[in-house]
Chain A
Amino acid sequence: KNQVEQSPQSLIILEGKNCTLQCNYTVSPFSNLRWYKQDTGRGPVSLTIMTFSENTKSNGRYTATLDADTKQSSLHITASQLSDSASYICVVTPGGGADGLTFGKGTHLIIQP
């Protein structure tokens, strides 16, 4: 069964600090992996997308990594800001024409001043 596991479930850090969120998946074959940011009361917004051949992708202070061999991805946030407080959702798309995206439950991140 295709699964996406995210850790930690929740995280509190001080403003200005860095943090790393983890995503492990069992989806196979694999097409791509996206990280979404979901602010409270809003829909998810795509941050990064990585395909099988990509190891790292940056979007401002967000840097995603992918190890397709170990089926692991991480999202690193540098110099956190209060506006980074949100849920971060990892989504994996299967390859080979298979149906259905697999969503993680998300990591709830709180940035404290």
Chain B
Amino acid sequence: ETGVTQTPRHLVMGMTNKKSLKCEQHLGHNAMYWYKQSAKKPLELMFVYNFKEQTENNSVPSRFSPECPNSSHLFLHLHTLQPEDSALYLCASSQEVDRVGGYTFGSGTRLTVV
């Protein structure tokens, strides 16, 4: 394991459901990120949190709502998703938002919207 734990590993939800993805790290990192990985596309940055404060929202639709209660935990709340939102959602952390790219990634949540 990398030190970044994501749950659940797999999630199937209907378009009217509400669900949450969870990410936890005990690496002492101060920055956490949500990325979306779709087939045959580069990773897309969704949200950045630094010391629990959101510093970046990369034009993500409001049906995705992040929450960062502390530097070790990050959630992604999902509601009224669309089938095109089906993807692998990756959480990552780094010591600081240092832009060096030294991220530790979790294993991801494979989301399927039906």
By the criterion CB–CB under 8 Å, are A43 and B45 in contact? no
By the criterion CB–CB under 8 Å, are B2 and A43 in contact? yes
Does A88 make an interface contact (CB < 8 A)? no
Please report which residues of chain B, range 64-114, place their CB below 8 angstroms from some CB of chain A when the two chains form the complex. 90, 92, 99-103, 105-108, 110
A52 CB to closest chain B CB (Å) equals 13
* Chain A residues positioned under 8 Å from B92 (CB to CB): 43
By the criterion CB–CB under 8 Å, are A43 and B106 in contact? yes
How many inter-chain contacts with C-beta < 8 Å in the A-B complex?
55
Does A68 make an interface contact (CB < 8 A)? no
A108 CB to closest chain B CB (Å) equals 9
Please report which residues of chain A, range 42-78, place their CB below 8 angstroms from some CB of chain B when the two chains form the complex. 42-46, 49
| Size range of the chain A interface in the assembly | 20 to 34
Does A41 make an interface contact (CB < 8 A)? yes
Which secondary structure characterizes the binding site on chain B?
A: loop
By the criterion CB–CB under 8 Å, are B101 and A43 in contact? no
CB contact under 8 A between A101 and B45, given known A31-B99, A93-B99 = yes
Please report which residues of chain B, range 1-49, place their CB below 8 angstroms from some CB of chain A when the two chains form the complex. 2, 4, 6, 9, 40-43, 45
CB contact under 8 A between A41 and B43, given known A31-B99, A34-B101 = no
B27 CB to closest chain A CB (Å) equals 14
* Chain A residues positioned under 8 Å from B9 (CB to CB): 41
By the criterion CB–CB under 8 Å, are A105 and B40 in contact? yes
By the criterion CB–CB under 8 Å, are B107 and A43 in contact? yes
CB contact under 8 A between A93 and B101, given known A43-B4, A103-B42 = yes
Rank and list the top 8 A-B pairs by shortest CB-CB distance, nearest first.
A43-B105, A103-B42, A103-B43, A93-B101, A42-B107, A44-B105, A34-B101, A43-B107
